[in-house]
Structure 1
Amino acid sequence: MPSDDFRPVYHPAGHDAELRSVVQELRAGRWLAMRNLLEATPSWSAWTRRTQVLAAVAAGTDTVRAWRAEEPHSAAATAMHARVAVERAARAHREDHPQTRVWWHEAWEACRVYAEQAPDDPVPWVGLLALAPLDREQRMPEHRLPPPGPMLFPGPWALLEQVAKRDPDNREAHQRMLQFVYARSPHGALPEAVNYARWAVSSAPLGSPAHVLPLYVRAERYRRERGQDRALDLHWVTDEALRDGRAALHDWFDFADPADSSLLDLSHLAHALWGAHEFAEAARVFRTLDPYYAPVPWTYRIRDDHGDTAQGAVELYLRARSRSLEASGAP
């Protein structure tokens, strides 16, 4: 029986122990550990993931500005300046802040400047992709280019191509494209998102986090329908849902390094397998997640009349984890 004392922990760095330590330093307003970590980061995949996490933490502080003042020629500091500018513009957009357009322009310029300074880095192009949803009416020509295949949509395909030239399997770029789809067509986006996920998976190598994309789209559909109808639980046990979960398990998870994996990807996979009653396989993912946890997509199953959505998501996660570990015979 799984221990009743277990409680999951959320941390944006997940299993990346070095990044967790740097996040703690950053929250205290210190940038030296961030610089050292980024200078030692071994791959574009880790670089993209780490700069994204650090930007989310740094966006509410002046720490990156202080770093750039001390080391104005640091490429890593310039990268983080662009990252933070994008994060702030995106937050302003979500909050409908009156300064959104100003911050959007500043972030766009910061990405362009950094792209010229670091031509091999995918991050400035990922940043430009992250800004694309702010162009709600697709007024910018680069956001309405013809798609590379049938059943796809006009969009920022050249930006995605620039990322792919530098990091062909960039996880965040695919996630940003899904965000663009949802912003582009809020009420009719799900078919376009399904088509994009299928397109991305069709060329993704084994071990690619792109294999998890169909699970994100499936969870988004569930969220939009609010999960209020219990019949919607059948959504997770259809043959197609089961294929999506098993494909993500065998084509991504079986090759994944937990330290380099997104908690969100792991969480979506655990949720999908548990929802499909593939408890033994779900247990493998829950054990990999331990001791960490991501609230999404568990929050999508919590009813609006629940007093505490966050606590409800944790309770549901614990029940799903316990059921899966019991079925697998795990201690």
Structure 2
Amino acid sequence: MSLFSNRGRRPRLAPELDDADLGKLLKRLTSNTRSSTPGTTDLCVAQIARFLEQNPGDFDLRAHRVSVLAGFLSESNLPAAWVQRDPSNASALVLHSWSAVERGRAAGRLTDASSVWERCQLVAELDPRDPTPWVVMLSVARLERYPTSDVFATWNEIVTRDRWHREAYLGMLEYLSPQESGSIAQVVDFVDSVRGRMPSNAPCAAVELAAHVMQYHAAVSRGGAQALLARNHWNTPQAADLLERARTTWPQRTFFSHAAALADLNLLAYALTAANRRRQAAPLFTAIGGSVTSWPWRFEGDPLAAFESAHHKAR
């Protein structure tokens, strides 16, 4: 990760964040898929395969790259074509499965959850160290409303392999929220259970702030007096202390090293703006450069417009 590398660029939605190699691959895939040249599918599959062979053992980077590719290719036949060509390739199987999950999220349910689950189990057998197939299975369990015991069993498989896996913690936070299968009390208990033992610069460091943003959004969404008073949430001692700690440490060049750090900086810039601490958000916008994430900015409408408005106010 190279914070500050995007300084001065025009803001754009950048799911790859500051992963320059991933950004280049997405551009190549876009260019190649627009072509009707024979062999295009083989070319694209070969490019994806070579790319995902890089950095073996870096499961944080792998999760980021597979998740971005899965979203990018969710309506494409490339993941399925890769599995047909190489049915025992772990990367092909997990990308195909994560792409199916992305389609399922858009539709509200999976068309064939059992097949996705079976493919992920095969990936887990091919590389028992890799938490990525279990991350996909956690999404399947949530989408299909599997029993809570199955959800937590899958969660345990992930954290056994990667103690502070970002995607896993954020996934469980959503699962435990009132919007999905839990309650505010369960969210608070979950955050409290990890706050004291989680390293301050862990890949999942933003889970506590994400919980506060979710509570803020819930208050605004209820409308009426609660929406008018929602900003007061950021004045509570716990939220104010969190913002103060995060704003002084997160933008430092060497503080974070995980692949999705820029997404966490987007979250913090949004929270500081919502808390009316706009000047304090200025260093965050410098660090973010032009790499905008859809969430949480989309809560305000068009995410790019919301980001640019907040950036202007910070200046």
Normalised by the length of structure 1, the TM-score is 0.78
1:83 to 84, 94, 98: 98
Q: Whose RCO is larger (CA < 8 A, sep 6+)?
A: 2
Q: In the superposition, relative to structure 1, how do residues 290 and 252 fare at CA in structure 2: closer, same or farther (>3 Å)? A: closer
The offset of 1:297, in angstroms, is 2.1
Cα distance in 2 for partners of 1:245, 1:65 equals 43
Work out whether residues 231 and 275 of structure 2, in 8 Å CA contact, stay in contact via their aligned partners in 1. no
Which runs of 5 or more structure 1 residues have no equivalent in the other structure?
A: 145-154, 303-308, 327-331
Q: In the superposition, relative to structure 1, how do residues 183 and 291 fare at CA in structure 2: closer, same or farther (>3 Å)? A: same
Task: State yes or no: 1:223 paired with 2:217.
Answer: yes
Task: State yes or no: 1:72 paired with 2:81.
Answer: no
Counterpart secondary structure, 1:31: helix
Cα distance in 2 for partners of 1:295, 1:115 equals 30
Counterpart secondary structure, 1:203: coil
CA-based RMSD: 2.6
Structure 2 match to 1:189: 183
Cα distance in 2 for partners of 1:256, 1:14 equals 14
Structure 2 match to 1:14: 17
Structure 2 match to 1:109: 118
Cα distance in 1 for partners of 2:86, 2:54 equals 17
Work out whether residues 142 and 151 of structure 2, in 8 Å CA contact, stay in contact via their aligned partners in 1. no
Structure 2 match to 1:118: 127
The offset of 1:82, in angstroms, is 2.5
Task: State yes or no: 1:174 paired with 2:158.
Answer: no
Structure 2 match to 1:131: 140
Cα distance in 2 for partners of 1:76, 1:44 equals 12
Work out whether residues 44 and 122 of structure 1, in 8 Å CA contact, stay in contact via their aligned partners in 2. yes
Counterpart secondary structure, 1:219: helix
How many pairs were matched up? 290
The offset of 1:126, in angstroms, is 0.7
Q: In the superposition, relative to structure 1, how do residues 25 and 247 fare at CA in structure 2: closer, same or farther (>3 Å)? A: same
The offset of 1:322, in angstroms, is 2.6
Q: In the superposition, relative to structure 1, how do residues 294 and 185 fare at CA in structure 2: closer, same or farther (>3 Å)? A: closer
Which runs of 5 or more structure 2 residues have no equivalent in the other structure?
A: 1-7, 34-43
CA deviation profile, 1:129-153 (whole Å, cap 9, x unmatched): 11121243x4x4xx32xxxxxxxxx
Cα distance in 2 for partners of 1:193, 1:231 equals 21
Work out whether residues 133 and 184 of structure 1, in 8 Å CA contact, stay in contact via their aligned partners in 2. no
Work out whether residues 71 and 102 of structure 2, in 8 Å CA contact, stay in contact via their aligned partners in 1. yes
Counterpart secondary structure, 1:178: helix
Task: State yes or no: 1:62 paired with 2:71.
Answer: no
Structure 1 runs (4+) deviating above 6 angstroms are none
Cα distance in 1 for partners of 2:243, 2:230 equals 17
Cα distance in 1 for partners of 2:90, 2:298 equals 38
1:40 to 54, 57, 74: 54
Structure 2 match to 1:320: 310
Work out whether residues 190 and 217 of structure 1, in 8 Å CA contact, stay in contact via their aligned partners in 2. no
1:202 to 191, 196, 202: 196
Q: In the superposition, relative to structure 1, how do residues 211 and 323 fare at CA in structure 2: closer, same or farther (>3 Å)? A: same
Q: In the superposition, relative to structure 1, how do residues 54 and 242 fare at CA in structure 2: closer, same or farther (>3 Å)? A: same
The offset of 1:63, in angstroms, is 0.5
Work out whether residues 64 and 260 of structure 2, in 8 Å CA contact, stay in contact via their aligned partners in 1. no
